[in-house]
């Protein structure tokens, strides 16, 4: 790799790709890098490593890199007839797992203005996808509103991501460090209004919870000192 290629890999535009759990308000994984297949594959592969054996219900925008990554990680070759590949013929592809549901939001734009929003089921049966949405505790239709709102919150609370700022990161390592600190505070220290739960039958007393409390990772709201001094 030449010196110029190393510079292009480190500097320039950097995307922050996030896997978000809308139920517990948890950012499960984030990857900072170029918007390419390698980074998206890493995102989805890390999601599988950090979740249990159940298959998540994925929803994204219309970027086709997600479809390829999800199929690679949550796909199988079972049911595909193994045939000898002749010249000019493509090798057999992977098939989605039977319980995999992947839906996406497709926006129609005229210039920079969104003039239409549609949804589609990429993997899984449409009836199964609609049933999963119907049983969702946070939404009744396919959307990307939760991740978009989360992205806005990150921009509001992290100066390195503010638009038209002099506080942008000049090195990817520092950007990743700032995001780790931000997500640590957001997940363990700051409570979320949407995660409050009743602690009496009359509903007069409520317990404030952080995303990690909602996810069952911890049982109390951490102090900033506790977070900073926690030994990993």
Query: One digit per residue, pLDDT tens: the chain, 232 residues?
Result: 677 666 666 677 889 999 999 999 999 999 999 999 999 999 999 999 999 888 899 999 999 999 999 999 999 887 666 555 556 566 667 888 889 999 999 999 898 888 899 999 999 999 999 999 988 988 889 999 999 999 999 998 888 888 888 888 888 889 999 999 999 999 999 999 989 988 877 767 889 999 999 999 999 999 999 999 998 7
User: Rg of the Cα trace of the chain?
Assistant: 21
Please tell me the pTM assigned to this model. Answer: 0.85
Question: Which DSSP string do the residues of 66-91 spell out, in sequence order?
Answer: HHHHHHHHSEE-TT----PPPTT-PP
Helices (H), 82-169: 126-134, 145-157
Tokens 């220290």 sit at which residue?
189
How many CB atoms are located within 10 Å of the residue 27 CB? 19
Residue 12: the pLDDT is 73
pLDDT at 47: 96
Provide the pLDDT for residue 166.
Answer: 83
Looking at residue 61, what is its pLDDT? 93
């Amino acid at each position: 790799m030449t010196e110029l290629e190393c510079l292009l890999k480190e500097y320039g535009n950097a995307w922050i790709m996030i896997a978000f759990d809308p139920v517990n308000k948890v950012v499960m994984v984030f990857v900072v890098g170029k918007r390419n297949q390698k980074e998206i594959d890493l995102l989805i592969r890390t999601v599988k490593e950090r979740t249990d054996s159940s298959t998540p219900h994925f929803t994204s925008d219309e970027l086709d890199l997600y479809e390829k990554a999800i199929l690679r990680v949550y796909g199988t070759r079972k049911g595909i007839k193994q045939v000898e590949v002749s010249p000019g013929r493509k090798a057999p592809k992977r098939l989605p797992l039977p319980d995999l549901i992947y839906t996406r939001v497709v926006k129609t734009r005229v210039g920079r203005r969104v003039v239409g929003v549609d949804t589609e089921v990429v993997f899984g049966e449409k009836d199964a996808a609609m049933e999963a949405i119907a049983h969702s505790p946070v939404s009744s239709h396919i959307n990307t509103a939760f991740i978009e709102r989360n992205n806005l919150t990150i921009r509001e609370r992290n100066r390195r991501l503010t638009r038209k700022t002099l506080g942008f990161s000049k090195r990817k390592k520092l950007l990743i460090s700032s995001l780790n600190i931000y997500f640590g505070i957001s997940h363990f220290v700051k409570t979320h209004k949407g995660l409050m739960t009743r602690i009496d039958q009359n509903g007069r007393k409520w317990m404030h919870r952080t995303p990690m409390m909602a996810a069952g990772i911890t049982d109390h709201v951490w102090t900033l000192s506790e977070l900073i001094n926690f030994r990993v």
